[in-house]
Structure 1
C-alpha cells in the first residue's frame, strides 16, 4: 500500500516513465525519458478516468523528456540521451519542436529548431519566449538561450548568456571539469531569470534587454556540498515583506557516503547579495548514508500559496510549507507503490493544476493524480 499523509489518490495513468508533466485546461502533457516514447497527451478533466489523446515518438539514442504548453503552443525538447547507447540516426540534431495544440488530440508541427551538440535540456515558456538550456557549436557545455516565438513557425534566438570559460571558440578556458558548470534551466519572474547552473551554483540575470542578459548575482555551495543545483525557483510573492528563492539540489553525481540532496531557502530581498536562511531535508534522510536518487529532485514550478509540492525521488512526493522561510515544515507526503518493473520508486517531476490537484510523475512508470486533504 502507498504511504500517505494528508494526501489521497484520485486517479492514475499507467504510462511509461516521464521527465516532465504539465497540465493546462484539463489536458496533461508528459515528456518521456526513453525512446521510442517521446510525448504523450492525456485528457484528465475526469481524473478518475484519464483518456489518452495523442502520442509522439523519438528515435533511438535520443529523448524528448521535457514539455511546456502555453497559448495553444506545445514546445518539446530534443536531446541526446546519455543513458541510451543506441546508435543515433545519421544527421539527427537536438533542439526544440513547436506544435499547435488547439486540438490536443492532433498536435500539428509548426517548426523544428536544431543545434549542434547534445541539444536542449530543460526550459521555461511563457507563450512568447522560451528560456532554455541549450548546447551550441563552440561552447563546452549548455548555456542560457532565449528564443522568441512571436512567429511560432520561425523560432528566433534573441539573446544568450554563459559563464566565463564556456565559450571555448572565443578563447575562453574552462576552470571547471568537463561540463560541470552548465545551465540546467532558467525560470522567469518579471525582468529576471533565475538560473540553476549545476555545479556552478545559481545565477540571477537581468533580462530587461533580452538581447543582452546581464549578471545580477550568483551563489554556489558546490563544494563543500556535493549535489548539483537543479532548480532555482523564485517565490512570486513576498513573505513577511521579504523576497525569497527556493533552490533544489538534485540527488545525483555525489559520493555514496555524501549527504542526499535537499532544498534551500534563499533571501533575495537584496538580490545582489543572496543569503541562505534555511534548508529542509526529510527526517528519514538526515545524516543517513543512502543510495543515489533518494533525496530531492524537483519542486513544482507551479503552486498555490506557501505549500510547495516536491518530487523527492525514491521518497515520493513531499509537500513543504514555507510560510516561515526560516523553518520550512513538511505538511503532507505520498510515496507510491513500487512501479511495475522497477526496483525503486523514482518520483521525477510534479505539478499542480488550477483546481489544486497534484500530478506526480515517476521516472520509470506511472502518473499519480493526488489531492491534498
Structure 2
C-alpha cells in the first residue's frame, strides 16, 4: 500500500494534540493544546491519502458524491440510516452551511440524493444526524436531530446547538425547532436521540461549554424533545461530581492520579436500546456511564480508565452483547506525544456487566496504528464504531472501513477491510445486508460482504 501526505484543511471533531509547537491553534482565551479540526483561520492538519484501493471480504456496490449546493461542494461528515433512507451530515469545506443530505436507498446500488435540510443557520456546519420514530402528544412521526457547530464564534449571525426536523416524508423535511447553546460555545458536536418509555431524549456533547461559560453550561446536557418546538433541558453533568476531579476544575485541565495533565471534555454521547443508560465519551476522563432511568436525576455508575502511558482520547462508543460489552474508540493522531506510548488511536473493548467497574477485555489495532513514521496524521487513527450482531464496524479515515469479529470480545479478529482510493472515511452505519460509509472527499459508499479478495 503506497501512501503520500498532503496538507489540507482539517477533518472533523475537537481534539487534543499535545506538544505540537507552532501548529497549536489558540482556542480563544484557552490557548492550550486544543485543536478543532476544520475550524479557525489558517489551521492545517497533515492528512494521509492512499494511492489505489484495497479490500478483502467487501465490495463497493455504489459510490456517489453529494451534490453541490449554491455552487459549492461541501465535504461529507457522518452517516445514519433509517428505514430505507440514509442521512449524511456535512463538514466545513466550502464554508459550511451544507446541511444534511437525504438519500433514497430503495435501490442500494443506485442511491439518489433527494433532499437537503438543516442548512438555515449562517456560519455553521452540520456533522451528526440521528433519526428515530417518535410518538408524543405534540409530535408523531420520524424525528431528525442535527448537530450545529459554528465556524467562528465571533460571527454575530451564527449560533450552535441542535436542530429538530420532521422527516416523516424524507423528500420534504420540515423544521420543528432549535435548541441553542451559549454563543461562546462552538456548538453541539456529536449527539444521540433515544426514546425512553415513549419519551424522546437528546443527549448532547458540547465540547468546552463548561470552560467557556465558567460552569454555567456543561459539556453534557440531557434534553427532552417531546415537543420538538420547545426542547427542555433536564440535566447537566458536572465532572466535579467525581471524587478524582477537584472542585476548582476549570472545565478542561485535569491532573490524573499519575500526575499527568489531561484534557477533559465531552466529545460524543449515546444510550442503550432502552434509553436508560448513557455513555459519554469524555476524552481523557474515559467513557462515563450514567444511569438515566430518571432523566431529571441521573446517577454516575462508572467510567473507563487509561494506563499512565496511554493517551486517552475517548472519542465514541458502541454497545455489543445485549449491552454487556462496551466498544470505545480513541482518536489519537499525534503518535509521538512525550510521555506516552508511540501509537495512533485504537479500539478498546470492555465487559460492562457490572457498569460500576468496566473490565478491559481486549484492544483492537489495525496495521496502521503502530506505523508512527508519518507523525501527525488523522489517517491512521480509528474514528467511529457500529455493531451489528457479533460484528464490529469501524470507520478509520485513511484506513477505510474495518469489520471485526467480536464473537469472543477478548479476542477480536479482523474479518474485512475496505479502503477506497484516497480514503477519508468519517462514519459507518449498517442496515440489512449493506454497510454505508461516508467519505469526506467522495460522498456516500455502499458496501456488501463477499467471500474473499476484491
Confirm or deny a common fold (TM above 0.5): yes
1-side partners of 2:218 and 2:441: how far apart? Answer: 26
- Does residue 135 of structure 2 align to residue 52 of structure 1? no
2:132 to 65, 70, 91: 70
State the partner residue of 2:18.
Answer: none
How far did residue 194 of structure 1 move? 1.5
CA contact (8 A) 1:228 1:252 kept: no
Matching residue of 2:235: 159
Q: 2:190 touches 2:268 (CA, 8 Å); kept in 1?
A: yes
3-state secondary structure, aligned to 1:164: helix
Cα pair 1:199 1:222 within 8 Å, conserved: no
Count matched residues: 353
CA deviations 1:122-156 (Å, max 9, x no partner) are: 11112511111133633388522111111121111
Which residue of 10, 23, 28 maps to 2:86?
28
Judge conservation of contact 1:9–1:370 (CA < 8 Å) in 2: yes
Give the Cα separation in 2 of the matches to 1:49 and 1:142.
43
Q: Which runs of 5+ in 2 are unaligned?
A: 1-51, 67-73, 134-141, 255-261
Per-residue CA deviation, residues 89-143 of structure 1 (Å, 9 max, x unaligned), is 4142211111111121111111111111122111111251111113363338852
CA apart distance, 1:61:
4.4
Secondary structure of the residue aligned to 1:224 is coil
**Offset of 1:222 from its aligned partner?**
6.7
Q: 2:358 aligns with which of 274, 279, 285?
A: 274
* Map of 2:265 onto structure 1: 182
Task: Provide TM-score, normalisation by structure 2.
Answer: 0.72
Q: How does 1:107-256 map to 2 (within 5 A)?
A: 107-116=173-182, 117-127=185-195, 128-134=200-206, 135=209, 137-139=213-215, 143-164=219-240, 172-174=248-250, 176-177=252-253, 180-189=263-272, 190=274, 191-221=276-306, 223-237=308-322, 243-252=324-333, 255=336
1:188-229 alpha-carbon deviations (Å, 9 max, x no partner): 114211211012211111112111111111122175212511
Alpha-carbon distance between aligned partners in 2 of 1:176 and 1:97, rounded to the nearest angstrom = 26
- CA distance in structure 1 between the aligned counterparts of 2:344 and 2:201, rounded to whole angstroms: 34
**How far off is 1:68 after superposition?**
0.8
After TM superposition, the structure 1 stretch with the greater mean CA deviation from structure 2, 52-61 or 205-214, is 52-61
TM superposition shift of 1:44: 1.7
CA distance in 1, matches of 2:251, 2:291: 24
Q: Which residue of 1 aligns with 2:70?
A: none
Secondary structure at the aligned position of 1:204 is classed as strand
Give the aligned partner of residue 21 of structure 2.
none
State the Cα distance separating 1:67 from its structure 2 match: 0.6
Contact 1:64 1:79 in 2 (8 A): yes
Contact 2:348 2:363 in 1 (8 A): yes
Shift of 1:284: 4.2
Deviations 1:256-286 (A, max 9, x none): 6830111111122222211112101013433
Counterpart pick for 1:333 among 417, 439, 444: 417
Unaligned runs of 5+ in 1: 339-344
> Aligned partners of 2:121 and 2:307: how far apart in 1?
35
Taking structure 1 as the reference length, the TM-score comes to: 0.87
Q: Which residue of 2 aligns with 1:342?
A: none
Secondary structure of residue in 2 paired with 1:237: helix
CA 1:79/1:278 → structure 2, altered by over 3 Å: closer, same or farther?
same
Which 4+ runs in 1 deviate beyond 4 A?
58-61
Deviates more, 1:131-140 or 1:181-190: 131-140
Query: Alignment RMSD, CA only?
Result: 2.5
Structure 2 distance, partners of 1:216, 1:61, is 38
Tell me which residue corresponds to 1:341: none
Shift of 1:58: 5.8
Assess if the C-alpha contact under 8 Å between 1:58 and 1:64 holds in 2: no
Counterpart-to-counterpart distance in 1, 2:217 and 2:180: 16
- Cα distance in 1 between the residues matched to 2:425 and 2:120: 22
